[in-house]
Structure formats: C-alpha cells, structure tokens
Amino acid sequence: MLCIEGETLVPGSLAALPRLVTLARSETQALEMAGAIVCSAMTDDQGEPMFVEHPDAIAELRELVDQRLQTRPADYIWGFRTLLAIEGQFHWSATFGDFSDDFYEVACPHCSLDVTIAIGGYGCYSAYRDWDAGDVDRRDLRPASVAELDGMGRWMYNLAVRDGQDQLAAGITYLMGRAECPRCASVFHIAGEYAAANLPPLLSVRLARSKIG
Ligand SMILES: [Zn+2]
C-alpha cells in the first residue's frame, strides 16, 4: 500500500507512521516511505499534528535517517532533505537540490528584478535570464565563509561536511552567501530573499495573523 500520491498526503498515512518507523529499523523501503510521509505532512498542513501525535516515531525516524546519512548512501540528498523536514525547515527541504546544477529565482530586494542564481556545474553566478540569449550579465556569487554561517546554514553545512558531501557543503556556502543584482548592482543575501518569497502559504498566513495579534 502506497501512502503518497504525488505531493499529497493520503488520509490515514500519518496514523501508519509509528508502524512504518518500526519497520524502518530493518527495511530501507519503509524508511523511505516514512520519510516521504513526514516531508509531505510538512508541506500539507499536517506538520503540527504529526509532531504532537507521534513524537517518539518522529524522534526515532530522525535517528534512523541520520544513521543512514552517515553511511554516505548514493541518494544522500534524499535523507538530507528528510532531516531538514523533520527540523521544520520545509521550505529548504522542498527546494534543495544537490548543487550539481541548481537554479533559484530570487527577486532583487532593491529593484525587484527577477535574478537567476546558479549554483553548480554551470557556474556560481547571479544573472538576468534572457529566454533567447540565456543567462546574461553574470556576476560571481560571494559565498559565505564558514565562520559567517550560523543557524540552519551552519547546521546544514556541518552535516554535509561530517558525511563527506563536498559539493553539497560548498553549495550551502553559496546559498547562504550574497549575490549582486545584474541591473542595480546592489548586493543581497540569497537565502534570506529566497526564504521570504517561498514560505508556504499556511505559514505566511500564520505570520500575518501573529503580526495582527
Ligand atoms: Zn536590483
């Protein structure tokens, strides 16, 4: 029985989580299904009930995924994204690539130009994406130094370094670094602008409410 259809959580699959996590101690497929349920729940308004109803299962799942990551599996990024979801970082979990050839769209906070951010084999740059000419007016990204990393950035970086994921660790320093706008030349923090524009609707509503309250 598959619990996930596309990005949507099928009713009842959350209830199956504790049993799946028990199976996941010895079965990789159960681990992947449990992880998929958690990732789906975090993007589907079910995140809070899940943590309230199944704290032990979530804690064990976190441990199992962490153990799997330390074996440096071929699908490392899958476990990495699952851990991010468990940590409540679902906007990163849902968008994170492995930085082999990742592109992000971020609006310049000063002139509102849609800036293309490339991190990967094509280079690490900000640019204006012209549909005929490609990425034009490229500017080199300015990666964060390891000392500058804090919060989730530092947590993600340390995890990638622990497990020998050099490409991922380097990509995180670029994502947590700064970019120059190709039009107005202002310099801004990529992650901050990206997260602000890509918070899920539910959380945006909550933030708006808490401001009013
Ligand atoms: Zn600009």
pLDDT of residue 95: 75
pLDDT of residue 139: 98
pLDDT of residue 206: 42
Determine how β-strand 101-107 pairs with β-strand 114-120: antiparallel
Round to whole Å and give the CA distance between 156 and 149. Answer: 10
140 C-alpha to center of ligand 1: Å?
A: 15
Domain ranges of the chain: 4-95, 101-201
128 C-alpha to center of ligand 1: Å?
A: 10
- pTM score, whole prediction: 0.83
Could you read off the pLDDT of 130-185 as tens digits, one per residue? 989 999 999 999 999 999 998 889 999 999 999 999 999 999 999 999 999 999 99
Could you read off the pLDDT of 55-80 as tens digits, one per residue? 999 999 999 999 999 999 999 999 99
187 C-alpha to center of ligand 1: Å?
A: 8
**Residues whose CB is under 5 A from ligand 1 (ion)?**
108, 110-111, 113, 181, 183-184
Reading the block at residue 82, the tokens are 């699952």
184 C-alpha to center of ligand 1: Å?
A: 4
**Tokens 């005929």 found at:** 132
180 C-alpha to center of ligand 1: Å?
A: 8
